[in-house]
């Protein structure tokens, strides 16, 4: 028997998604950026948008931050602003990909002085995380090479391991280090952390508090992401997710929009994993869609994928697998996937004090028009 509706709702109520501060501001492609009315002008307004997502969904209680994009003078003030909006700080994300110094790499750079700069930023992010009460530093490196012979692949790996070991060594007990991989871009010949295996080996070398972060957009076409999730979970190294959806590359489309079945299968692996859910963060920088609404839709898509995974009849699945009944096992998954879980999710949200239909509630609330008026008519604020 699948679990009861009450059980599913109890588990749904515990789902906690982190939304990304960097997903609320203007973004675009390398061809153009399309400014949206009401876009937040600073981290405080990005937090306000994140709070609106949580108000509507009841399931987005944390905001992940990116530095230096979200840097402020007074982190106590920022933390108070976040907590006053009933949010907490999610993972702190360092940025080692924009400074001209990092053209040839950051922690893998051939010049030791550049590597020291990169390490100093990672150590600064440990301090920022401490001040903000964050429990993770989530690291994605843009490091890589574009041409064979451009640099020594093994030396780059050793430089990276030395640098990250220094960061891991000073992590306070409350913090962990999440290591994200990406198979290409911005480097096109060799990415220093290209896949889950490279990230896992790195974590195993660093120590217990380093775990792998899986960004759904960072794999080659056809990769079985749910199997990667199962493997990392079995190794005790599944640190978390960056949720988005992709069609071709690192597209950052709304999670669950292109391949909801893949998302469901990933949640099936999470439901099968012992212990609490790992860190679940959205990593989407939208180009043409309304940003707050896109983030609400992303959270409701995650709620639905989780609800469907919770509805799988585990006994029927195991019985089919043990009987070698290939399609019965598959059909046990399809039964759950085809269930319309919208009423269940609406009930869970109602019990959380959120909106039964968050998209309709957002549209009816006038939030977009209000922030468009407030944020356009005032001078650029500086805090």
242 lies in the binding site for Mn ion (CB under 5 A) = yes
Q: Strand, helix or coil at 212?
A: strand
- According to the binding rule CB under 6 A, does residue 242 interact with ligand RM4? yes
What residues numbered 92-121 form the site for ligand RM4, per CB under 6 A?
A: 93
Do the beta carbons of residue 139 and residue 98 sit within 8 Å? no
Indicate whether 140 belongs to the interface with ligand RM4 (CB under 6 A): yes
From the list ligand RM4, Mn ion, none, partner contacted by residue 156 (C-beta under 5 to 8 A by kind): none
Closer CB to ligand RM4, residue 283 or residue 293? 283
User: Nearer to ligand RM4 by C-beta: 34 or 97?
Assistant: 97
> Is residue 331 within the footprint of ligand RM4 (CB under 6 A)?
no
**Residues in 157-216 at the binding interface with Mn ion, rule: CB under 5 A:** 215
Query: What is the footprint of ligand RM4 within residues 180-199 (CB under 6 A)?
Result: 180, 182
Burial category of 212 from C-beta neighbours within 10 Å (exposed 0-12, middle 13-18, buried 19 and up) = buried
Confirm or reject binding of residue 18 to Mn ion (CB under 5 A).
Answer: no
DSSP alpha helices (H): ranges in the chain? 5-13, 43-57, 75-84, 112-132, 153-169, 196-206, 225-234, 260-272, 291-310, 314-323, 326-337, 342-351, 358-365, 367-377
In eight-state DSSP terms, residue 282 is: E
User: Which residue number places its CB atom closest to ligand RM4?
Assistant: 140
Site for ligand RM4 in 344-363 (CB under 6 A): none
Terminal C-alpha separation, the chain:
55
By the 8 A CB rule, do 36 and 291 touch?
Answer: yes
Q: How far apart are CB 48 and ligand RM4 at their closest, in Å?
A: 21
Is 250 one of the binding residues for Mn ion (CB under 5 A)? yes
Dist. CA 256–CA 181, nearest whole Å: 21
Where along the sequence are the contacts to Mn ion (CB under 5 A)?
215, 242, 250, 283
Where along the sequence are the contacts to ligand RM4 (CB under 6 A)?
22, 93, 140, 180, 182, 215, 242, 250, 283
């Amino acid at each position: 028997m699948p679990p009861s509706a009450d059980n599913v709702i109890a588990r749904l109520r515990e789902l906690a998604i982190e939304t990304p501060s960097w997903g609320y501001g203007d973004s675009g492609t390398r061809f153009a950026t399309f400014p949206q009315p009401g876009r937040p002008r600073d981290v405080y307004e990005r937090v306000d948008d994140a709070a609106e997502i949580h108000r509507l969904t009841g399931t987005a209680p944390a905001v992940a931050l990116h530095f230096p994009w979200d840097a402020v003078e007074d982190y106590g003030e920022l933390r108070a602003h976040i907590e006053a909006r009933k949010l907490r700080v999610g993972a702190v994300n360092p940025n080692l990909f924009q400074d001209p110094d990092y053209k040839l790499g950051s922690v893998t750079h051939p010049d030791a002085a550049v590597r020291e700069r990169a390490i100093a930023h990672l150590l600064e992010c440990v301090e920022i995380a401490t001040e903000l009460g964050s429990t993770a530093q989530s690291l994605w490196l843009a490091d890589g090479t574009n041409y064979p012979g451009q640099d020594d692949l093994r030396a780059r790996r050793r430089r990276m391991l030395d640098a990250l070991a220094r960061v891991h060594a000073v992590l306070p007990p409350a913090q962990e280090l999440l290591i994200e991989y990406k198979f290409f871009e911005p480097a096109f010949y060799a990415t220093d952390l290209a896949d889950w295996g490279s990230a896992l080996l790195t974590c195993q070398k660093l120590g217990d508090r380093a775990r792998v972060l899986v960004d759904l957009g960072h794999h080659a076409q056809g990769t079985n992401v749910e199997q990667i999730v199962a493997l990392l979970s079995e190794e005790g190294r599944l640190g978390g997710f960056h949720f988005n959806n992709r069609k071709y590359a690192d597209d950052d489309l709304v999670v669950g929009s292109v391949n909801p079945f893949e998302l469901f299968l990933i949640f099936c692996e999470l439901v099968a994993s012992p212990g609490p859910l790992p860190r679940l963060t959205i990593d989407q920088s939208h180009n043409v869609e309304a940003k707050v609404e896109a983030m609400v839709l992303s959270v409701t898509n995650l709620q639905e994928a989780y609800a469907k995974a919770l509805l799988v009849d585990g006994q029927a699945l195991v019985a089919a697998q043990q009987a070698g009944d290939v399609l019965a096992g598959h059909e046990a998954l399809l039964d759950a996937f085809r269930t319309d879980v919208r009423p269940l999710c609406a009930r869970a949200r109602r019990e959380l004090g959120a909106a039964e239909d968050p998209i309709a509630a957002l549209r009816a609330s006038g939030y977009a028009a209000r922030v468009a008026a407030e944020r356009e008519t005032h001078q650029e604020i500086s805090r």
